[in-house]
Amino acid sequence: MFFRQLFDEDTWTFTYFLADPVTQEAVIIDPVKEQIENYLNLINDMGVTLKYALETHVHADHITAGGLLRNHLGTQTGVGAACGAECADIQINSGDVFTFGENEHIKVIATPGHTPGSVSFYWRDRVFTGDSLFIGGCGRADFQGGDAGALYDGITTQLFTLPDETLVYPGHDYQGNEVSSIGQERRYNPRLVGKSRAEFIDLMNNLNLPNPKYIDQAVPANKVCGLDESERQDAIVKGQFGKTSSVASTATLVSEARHQIREISVDQALVEMQQLTNLVVIDVREEHEFVSGHIDGVIHVPRGVLEFKLQNINNLADKMTPVLLYCGSGARSALAAVAMQRLGYSKVMSLSGGYKAWSAQILQQ
Ligand SMILES: [Fe+2]
């Protein structure tokens, strides 16, 4: 069996590559988009078929190479079902087993907490823990739907009950460590040793860490398997854009969303903007779309990170606050409006026709 621990220096991310030299089947865990050439060279040099590209979660610190590996090699991508990455070929659930090679089994262990959909992969004598358990630490639980209590439960009841000699391969290490063991972490990990669940939650809720530098790009990108628009089109043409995110199903989702929300025209939006002094207007498009032109004075929060950032937006602690969402053409904002309604916001509107309609009507007057 061939095993390799790869490292992306820019984001301190570990990627794992497993291959069976007999059947020449391989699996990659947490691949980084910037390293795609290295992966393709490695796969080419070894002459293996990359069967699966598996994610321990939707990452906030780097963009995955999963979608590109699928585009290039036909690899199947897998992401935790609770991650909201509908582009993935396989929505991973706890207890799932991925098989490859002659007789290789990778068992999925749900370890939520860093994100709701975080999983660990248990293979032979080792476990790939993503951002759940680190060497002498653990992943943070203060954004992306994180939950310190769930993280504590996952580590202590799932990972720490594996055999002591199980090797721990984490998603990151910032101190130059490469591998640890379950026994070592259970006895010496300072985040957990001697701490009650409540003490752990208190510690995790007061880390006060800055956001990862690529979070605004990485989270939305990773929900579409790390592909940009042209790579996505390429995938759609090849029929490789996942089972649930084909053009047709996205259109269906949008039309269903439109029935559940209040859509308003540009004229109505102008009236609401004038009359509602507490109206919050949010542009949910990507960074490059926002900088190329937007409505004056709005808040910019890309769709992919909207749910994680609502708590930081002034006035939105009150879920009765009126909110107007817009995107490029009204599709993403319709989906975002449904998501906000589910979170309890009762006065959400979506701009019909999006910024395209706005600029056609307002900017050309
Ligand atoms: Fe992470």
Please write the tens of the pLDDT for every residue from 69-117. 998 999 999 999 988 888 899 999 999 999 999 999 999 999 999 999 9
Q: Is residue 86 part of a domain?
A: yes
Same-domain status, 174 and 260? no
Cα 214 to averaged position of ligand 1 atoms, centre (Å): 11
Q: Is residue 106 part of a domain?
A: yes
Same-domain status, 205 and 336? no
Same-domain status, 25 and 139? yes
The pLDDT of residue 246? 36
Q: Per-residue confidence at 242, pLDDT binned at 50, 70, 90?
A: low
Cα 65 to averaged position of ligand 1 atoms, centre (Å): 15
Cα 135 to averaged position of ligand 1 atoms, centre (Å): 15
Same-domain status, 131 and 18? yes
Handedness of CA 185, 187, 190, 192 (dihedral sign): positive
Cα 171 to averaged position of ligand 1 atoms, centre (Å): 8
Cα 4 to averaged position of ligand 1 atoms, centre (Å): 21
DSSP state of 64: B
Tokens found for residue 13: 């991310």
Q: Is residue 235 part of a domain?
A: no
Q: For the chain, what is the domain count?
A: 2
Cα 253 to averaged position of ligand 1 atoms, centre (Å): 28
Cα 172 to averaged position of ligand 1 atoms, centre (Å): 9
Cα 176 to averaged position of ligand 1 atoms, centre (Å): 18
pLDDT in tens, 307-339: 777 877 888 888 999 999 999 999 889 988 988
Residue 273 has pLDDT above 50, yes or no: yes
The pLDDT of residue 87? 85
Same-domain status, 142 and 39? yes
Cα 58 to averaged position of ligand 1 atoms, centre (Å): 7
The pLDDT of residue 237? 66
Cα 74 to averaged position of ligand 1 atoms, centre (Å): 25
Cα 165 to averaged position of ligand 1 atoms, centre (Å): 25
89 HSE (CA, 13 A, CB side): 17
Q: Domain of 346: which CATH number?
A: 3.40.250.10
The pLDDT of residue 243? 47
Report which listed range, 132-136, 335-339, 354-358, is most confident.
Answer: 132-136
- Least reliable range by pLDDT among 51-65, 141-155, 198-212, 245-259: 245-259
Same-domain status, 261 and 199? no
Average of per-residue pLDDT values in the chain: 90
Q: Is residue 221 part of a domain?
A: no
Q: Is residue 236 part of a domain?
A: no
Cα 272 to averaged position of ligand 1 atoms, centre (Å): 39
Share of the chain above pLDDT 70, in %: 95
Q: Is residue 226 part of a domain?
A: no
- Residue of higher predicted confidence among 235 and 42: 42
Same-domain status, 178 and 294? no
Q: Per-residue confidence at 244, pLDDT binned at 50, 70, 90?
A: very low
3-state secondary structure of 354: helix
- Residue 61, strand partner residues: none
Same-domain status, 65 and 198? yes
Same-domain status, 198 and 88? yes
Cα 269 to averaged position of ligand 1 atoms, centre (Å): 38
Last residue of some domain: 216, 234, 254? 216
Cα 103 to averaged position of ligand 1 atoms, centre (Å): 30
Cα 179 to averaged position of ligand 1 atoms, centre (Å): 18
Same-domain status, 299 and 156? no
Instruction: Specify the long-range contacts of residues 261-264, CB closer than 8 Å, at least 24 apart.
Output: 261/334, 261/337, 261/338, 261/341, 261/348, 261/349, 261/350, 262/337, 262/348, 262/349, 262/350, 263/330, 263/334, 263/349, 263/350, 263/351, 263/352, 264/324, 264/349, 264/350, 264/351, 264/352
Which DSSP string corresponds to 260-309? HSEEE-HHHHHHHHHH-TT-EEEE-S-HHHHHT---TT-EE--GGGHHHH
- 188: containing domain: 2-216
Cα 90 to averaged position of ligand 1 atoms, centre (Å): 19
3-state secondary structure of 214: coil
Cα 57 to averaged position of ligand 1 atoms, centre (Å): 7
Cα 166 to averaged position of ligand 1 atoms, centre (Å): 22
Q: Domain of 132: which CATH number?
A: 3.60.15.10
Same-domain status, 255 and 206? no
Q: Is residue 17 part of a domain?
A: yes
Cα 146 to averaged position of ligand 1 atoms, centre (Å): 10
The pLDDT of residue 37? 94
Cα 350 to averaged position of ligand 1 atoms, centre (Å): 31
Cα 56 to averaged position of ligand 1 atoms, centre (Å): 8
Q: What is the pTM of this model?
A: 0.69
- Least reliable range by pLDDT among 156-160, 163-167, 287-291: 287-291
Cα 62 to averaged position of ligand 1 atoms, centre (Å): 9
Same-domain status, 166 and 54? yes
How far apart are the C-alpha atoms of 211 and 61, rounded to whole Å?
A: 9
Residues in the chain: 365
Cα 141 to averaged position of ligand 1 atoms, centre (Å): 9
Tokens found for residue 242: 């996942």
Query: How confident is the model over 49-70, as a mean pLDDT?
Result: 95
- Least reliable range by pLDDT among 139-153, 228-242, 260-274: 228-242
Cα 140 to averaged position of ligand 1 atoms, centre (Å): 8
Q: Is residue 239 part of a domain?
A: no
The pLDDT of residue 155? 98
The pLDDT of residue 266? 95
Cα 21 to averaged position of ligand 1 atoms, centre (Å): 31
Cα 132 to averaged position of ligand 1 atoms, centre (Å): 8
